Amino acid sequence: METEMESMTCPRCGAEMQERALGGATVAQCPDGHGVFLSRADLGVLVEAENDWHANAGQHTAPMPRITADMTAPPSVGKQSRAWVETLFG
């Protein structure tokens, strides 16, 4: 059963929190990055998704860079997420 969140304002800056769907949960987020609000059920959904992500993610899942003779420095590696939830807010 899905319920719509009541419109909320950020307690820090007073801006209207923006609702968005994240990984099966609904989260109200301050547009200025002051925080998020979610229901207990939505928190449970995110915790389950986080646990699934860790269960299926290897420690070193990034492919090895291809080394070529003309390289003068190691290839740059993108930032790897430490957690699935981190990818939602990045």
Confidence of residue 10 (pLDDT cuts 50, 70, 90): very high
Residue for token pair 């995110």 = 46
Residue 80: the pLDDT is 66
**pLDDT digits 0-9 by tens, 15-61:** 999 998 987 899 999 999 998 898 999 988 888 888 887 777 665 55
Q: Are 27 and 19 in contact (CB under 8 A)?
A: yes
Q: What is the pTM of this model?
A: 0.55
β-sheet bridge partners, residue 22? 25
Q: Which of 50, 51, 13 lies closest to 35, judged by CA?
A: 13
Query: Computed over its alpha carbons, how large is the radius of gyration of the chain?
Result: 19
Q: Whole-angstrom Cα distance, residue 34 to residue 12?
A: 7
